[in-house]
Amino acid sequence: MKNIYFDFVNSLLNNFTTYENEPDINEHGIQLTKIKINEDYAKKWNVSLSDFVVLTKNGELLKPTLYRVGGMGTDKIKGKKYFMLLKYVEAFYDKKITDISGTKDPKHLEGRWCIIDEFGAEKAEFLSHKTPYLISESCIYNIDSNYYNIETKELYCRSYHKLESNQYIFLENAYDEIKEKRGVMRIDKISGEYKLYK
């Protein structure tokens, strides 16, 4: 099977055309930099979007990956430990989709939400139809009512009821398969450590 991501990286390396420096630089020199992709590349991959960004560090390209801010993302990264961007990779529509839509060319750039840390490292990437929610000022995210630690990947629990204070989030964990974990979890937003109240 063709390594789509490898081809994507190589094509990006050959298709950067211009950079525009943006003023929002974080404490580690990371910033989102607007980029214009080559017209031939855009045509080949059926790209009509023009608001792509890349991650740069101290003015140098950090990684050859296209991103967009998107509705749940942010272009303000200064002072944030984690932030979300839409990552774009080369992909092909399934034949079922092209048959239904009447699209003849299955090539496209697929957007996938990802969580990125303050150093520009991708900490989590999600399937194209999944949208995570980043708990503000914390190391925790929620997807499909499941709460995870960004750094350790640990699943805290599945919860439909959440309360938040400045320091903690509180999750009702009433139906966990592991009975010893049932109760209310108090999770420290910064450290990710939790205490269970039965």
pLDDT tens digits for 36-74?
888 888 888 888 888 899 999 988 889 889 999 877 666
- State pTM to two decimals: 0.82
Mean per-residue pLDDT, 3-8: 43
Mean per-residue pLDDT, 99-104: 61
Question: Are 106 and 93 in contact, with CB atoms under 8 Å apart?
Answer: yes
Q: Please check whether residues 26 and 117 belong to one and the same domain.
A: yes
Residue 17, pLDDT score: 44
Which stretches of 93-182 are assigned E, i.e. beta strand?
107-117, 122-125, 133-134, 140-143, 146-149, 155-158, 162-164, 168-173
Residue 3, pLDDT score: 38
Q: Please check whether residues 65 and 117 belong to one and the same domain.
A: yes
Dihedral pair phi/psi, residue 25, rounded to 5°: -110, 130
Number of folded domains that form the chain? 2
Q: Please check whether residues 99 and 159 belong to one and the same domain.
A: no
Nearest to 165 by CA among 132, 137, 146: 137
Tell me, yes or no, whether 73 lies in a domain: yes
Q: In this predicted model, which residue has the larger pLDDT, 118 or 35?
A: 118
Give pLDDT tens digits for 7-38.
445 555 555 444 455 568 899 999 998 888 88
Nearest to 16 by CA among 62, 54, 70: 54
Tell me, yes or no, whether 135 lies in a domain: no
Distance between CA atoms of 40 and 98, rounded to whole angstroms?
Answer: 22
Residue 1, pLDDT score: 31
Distance between CA atoms of 164 and 71, rounded to whole angstroms?
Answer: 23
Tell me, yes or no, whether 114 lies in a domain: yes
Q: Please check whether residues 21 and 67 belong to one and the same domain.
A: yes
End-of-domain residue from the set 79, 102, 130: 130
Residue with tokens 């774009």: 88
Question: Are 85 and 134 in contact, with CB atoms under 8 Å apart?
Answer: no
Distance between CA atoms of 130 and 63, rounded to whole angstroms?
Answer: 23
Average pLDDT, the chain: 84
Q: Please check whether residues 66 and 120 belong to one and the same domain.
A: yes
